[in-house]
Amino acid sequence: MRILPLIIFISVFFFNTTTSMAVANNIDAELESCISKASSTQDMNNCLDIAQKAWEKETDKTIFSLKSKLNKESYKKLKKSQELWEEYKISEFQTIDNLIEQKHGTIYLNLQKGFKVDITKQRTLLLKQYLNTIDED
């Protein structure tokens, strides 16, 4: 009897992760393609800037979709959560900047941007999982 809730949880998690991963695969594939054509670390940074903007756009799109599916109170809480996450993101980006400024070499600028892309990507995928959970019926 205990196995049924576990099976349901795993099924829901797998569905949410799979759907969210389609978006990730697209942005990640575009980033990989861009980086494979890059001839300098500056070109790679430009690729990472494009990926960052793509994840931010996907975040906004997902929040907009959530707004249309949530009641007023739930959306208000999501909006507050997103505002707090934005504060966290700013703080985390500052930490990354402080760590990287101690390093020498242009490759560290790629790492700096990559860390920032990953933080935004993680939030976007979590929001997508929320949306997928709401959409299940």
- Give the tens place of pLDDT for each residue, 10-47: 444 444 444 456 666 899 999 999 989 989 989 999 99
Q: Where are the alpha helices (DSSP H) in the chain?
A: 3-37, 41-69, 72-100, 107-135
- Work out the mean pLDDT of the chain and round it to a whole number: 86
Residue 107's pLDDT is what?
86
35 burial via Cβ count (<10 Å: 0-12, 13-18, 19+): middle
Residue 123's pLDDT is what?
97
CA-to-CA dists, residue 76 to 64, 83, 85, 118, 130, angstroms: 12, 11, 14, 26, 15
Over residues 61-89, mean pLDDT: 97
Question: Higher-confidence residue: 12 or 117?
Answer: 117
- Percent of the chain exceeding pLDDT 70 equals 82
Domain of residue 91: give its range.
3-135
Dihedral sign computed on CA atoms, order 14, 19, 25, 27: negative
Structural contact between residues 83 and 19, judged by C-beta atoms closer than 8 angstroms: no
Residue 15's pLDDT is what?
44
pLDDT tens for each residue of 41-62: 899 999 999 999 999 999 999 9
List phi, psi (to 5°) of 136: -70, 135
Residue 105's region, left for phi above 0, alpha for psi from -120 to 50, else beta, is left
Domains in the chain: how many in total? 1
Residue 136's pLDDT is what?
77
Over residues 125-134, mean pLDDT: 94
Would the pTM of this model clear 0.95, i.e. be above it?
A: no
Residue 137's pLDDT is what?
62
Structural contact between residues 113 and 49, judged by C-beta atoms closer than 8 angstroms: yes
